[in-house]
Structure 1
Amino acid sequence: MASRDQFQRFIFEDSQVRGAWVKLNDSYSEIGSQAPYPASVRRMLGESLVASVLMSSTLKFEGTLSLQAQGDGPLRTLMAECSHDRFIRGLARYDEHAVTEDSLNALLGEGRMAITISPDKGQRYQGVVPREEENLAGCLEEYFERSEQIPTSFFLFADENCSAGLMLQKLPGDTEQDSDLWDRLNHLASTVEAEELLTLDSETVLHRLFNEETVRLFDAEPVAFRCSCSRERTLGALESIGKEECYSILDEQGSIEMDCQFCHQHYRFDRNDIDHLFTGHTLH
């Protein structure tokens, strides 16, 4: 059966303008089921997941792109991550008694948002996302304009069961003709309705929006939820908190138990595990 979660690139022929489309159903539902998210938090998480997939399509290497936000508002933490091979994960932490707003800035309050690019090989890069716009799409557009100097437009939507989005991007080396096309495409794309992106396939959406342009749509790629946690990575996290702290927890609790925040996988480590971690062999 074909995946209900798909990503597709497209280009406008003979121009320096490209785009991407994504729709998430099963993966969004699976990630959303990890906690009893209020509707506004769930939608914000859905938009973030879509944005992470769209932005990851610009990566030229193997690795991950994550969108992270922390604030002092009802939505304390927001995180969405996509790998180069279209595996996604995400989470949100929130004050369930205070979630009454829908807009990004009202939910987050004062805080910080960043995009982190983590190559499998090489240095990690992090860029701060401006928080001057009221919605996530606007904030990301400002980020690309200021940090990357690449005009980029985002159209992000999510409801209870589905999240979807569209990205347009004008590449360096554009001509005056490309600039005219860019303005025209953005005017057309701004007319897209949430229901269209959330219910229609890519070909139908692109035809409705850009039927007077020559669009080349590339093959669809599946998107799926997959957590990158493992016992080895969890041991690495324990190593980072230090030998003294680990043995202190062992002395107090008898073992160290950790749950993955993304998939709730449970990991348990006894004294032999910690001995091996810090000495390379078992002492007990």
Structure 2
Amino acid sequence: MQNDANILQRFLFENLPIRGERIRLTTSWQEVLERREYPEVVKKYLGELVATAALLSATIKIEGKMTLQIEATGALNMLVVQITHDGGFRATATYQDDLPENATFKELTEGGRVVITIENAHSIESSYQGVIPLIDDSISAAIERYFETSEQLRTSLFLRNTETTLGGLLLQRIPGEMEDEDAYNRVCHLADTVTAEELDELDTQTLLYRLYSEDDVRLFEEESLHFQCQCSRDRSIGVLKQFSIDELKNIITEEGQVSVACEFCGKSYDFGEQNLKEIENA
């Protein structure tokens, strides 16, 4: 597998009511990290959420985007990943400066909740949002419980991230098909044996053969994923429109300019007195 592979690949068990997905993100994940500096523990959990969002992105059946968000009153205040129907994603995190060392995920996200939002680019009415309290020991456990409670759909995640690569598998029962608990448990047990090195180094066909050589598995074409921030000068003007022109004038007088920084990629959009008319007329 090429070192710069950023792919999502779906697969289907022909004789079992189970579908699956595999992701591998390399350079696209590094682009996220190049734009913002995060402590190691934040990097770990943000990476897990990016991997999870990538695996869930196949559920976007519309032209639009999915936002996967963890909000908490703990030291890890917020993790957010947005991914579009065509594979562009961005991610950000907010956290307290004094992150406790050796704290568990559950401790860091105390009082939290998981929010999944799917937005249709053409219709607000067909958008969707689901929310559950966050009481779990890991991101994978939280998402599995979300699908179990909100969608009544058994889902299992296997995240295996390294310092440079995000890797993971998703298995999900196909709704409406006859349930086979033993088969699902067997498939999950084998998936749980996969290593970070295997997800990093093996193409999907080889990986699935190692895991499921006795099963008939249909593999679909790879889909490309990439880092893509949605910030722009026009969006920044929209933020500044929340302030009065007099307020903006005062900021520019004191600071020399007014700036809007993107929380996802860190890019700053700067506006001076000469831009006030542009903002006012937008």
Same fold (TM over 0.5): yes
Give the deviation of 1:179 after TM superposition. Answer: 4.2
Q: Which moved more, 1:209-218 or 1:191-200?
A: 191-200
Deviations 1:229-261 (A, max 9, x none): 111111122224566654553454453211212
State whether residues 130 and 143 of structure 1, in contact with CA within 8 Å, keep that contact through their aligned partners in structure 2.
no
Distance 1:244 1:148 in 2: 49
* Structure 1 residue aligned with 2:153: 150
Name the Cα RMSD after superposition: 2.3
State whether residues 77 and 93 of structure 1, in contact with CA within 8 Å, keep that contact through their aligned partners in structure 2.
yes
- Find the partner of 1:198 among 197, 200, 216: 200
* Structure 2 residue aligned with 1:135: 138
State whether residues 77 and 92 of structure 1, in contact with CA within 8 Å, keep that contact through their aligned partners in structure 2.
yes
State whether residues 51 and 159 of structure 2, in contact with CA within 8 Å, keep that contact through their aligned partners in structure 1.
yes
Q: 1:122 to 1:246 in 2, by over 3 A?
A: farther
Distance 1:213 1:22 in 2: 21
Q: Which moved more, 1:226-235 or 1:253-262?
A: 253-262
Distance 1:211 1:222 in 2: 26
Give the deviation of 1:266 after TM superposition. Answer: 1.9
- Find the partner of 1:269 among 268, 271, 279: 271
Q: Which moved more, 1:49-58 or 1:122-131?
A: 122-131
Give the deviation of 1:130 after TM superposition. Answer: 3.5
Matched, 1:159 2:162: yes
* Structure 2 residue aligned with 1:238: 240
Give the deviation of 1:140 after TM superposition. Answer: 0.1
Q: Which moved more, 1:44-53 or 1:7-16?
A: 7-16
Identity of aligned residues (%): 37
In structure 2, the residue corresponding to 1:219 is in which secondary structure? strand
Q: 1:102 to 1:160 in 2, by over 3 A?
A: farther
Q: 1:244 to 1:148 in 2, by over 3 A?
A: farther
State whether residues 56 and 82 of structure 1, in contact with CA within 8 Å, keep that contact through their aligned partners in structure 2.
yes
Give the deviation of 1:72 after TM superposition. Answer: 3.1
State whether residues 3 and 222 of structure 1, in contact with CA within 8 Å, keep that contact through their aligned partners in structure 2.
no
* Structure 1 residue aligned with 2:185: 183
Distance 2:92 2:77 in 1: 11
Letter in 1 for 2:131: V
* Structure 2 residue aligned with 1:78: 79
